[in-house]
Amino acid sequence: MKGNDVDELVRVEVEREDSNEIVEIAVPRNSDMLGEVRARLGLEAHVHIFERDRDEPLDRNIEDRRHLRLLAHPHRALDVVVRYEHQEKDHRFAPSATVFKVLQWAVGKKGYNLDPTAAAKANLILPGAEEPLPRDRTIGSFTKPGSRRLVVDLTLKDFTNG
């Protein structure tokens, strides 16, 4: 016999601006999930809550899900600048776009149009960083407070051998 829907919990992972931490919380399925997330994380009303890789902020609960990956961010869109070989190309993304989505744009026809071999080795890295950005993280988690702009470098460096 299944438990009552009221008792079921939804596991929610939340990324935030300028934070490496992914906060995990559980909220009752039939509650105001967005309100619960806002209250537990102390988010102000102007902060948007996005589902990962979605262009628009959430305005209601997502039904029939047991796990959600969200981003809390004050901006609806970010200007992402990708630098490669003394060039810069920029594109506007929702802060909930994953690093992988931005990388696909950067290596694709609208970005630097890399050949498939080079594209397979490509990574995005913050200027001055030692390691590439994790592809499953949202770009909004790498912006500094108040900034609508993120600058990254496209690199073909092999990071597998440390």
| Interval 80-98: pLDDT, tens | 999 999 999 999 999 999 9
Q: Which residue has the tokens 């589902």?
A: 51
CA dihedral 27, 32, 35, 36 (to 10 degrees): -20
Do residues 68 and 91 share a domain? no
Count of residues in the chain: 162
Banded model confidence at residue 7, pLDDT cuts 50, 70, 90? low
Percentage above 70 pLDDT, the chain: 94
pLDDT tens readout for residues 52-71 = 999 999 999 888 889 999 99
Boundary-marking domain end, from 35, 51, 73 = 73
Beta strand 87-93 pairing with 9-16? unpaired
Domain for residue 161, yes or no? no
pTM for the structure as a whole: 0.91
Q: Tell me, what amino acid is at 101?
A: K
As for how many domains the chain has, the answer is: 2
Residue scoring higher pLDDT (28 or 159): 28
Residues 149, 89 within the same domain? yes
Question: Which residue range(s) make up the domain with 103?
Answer: 78-155
Report the C-alpha gap between 67 and 49 in whole angstroms: 15
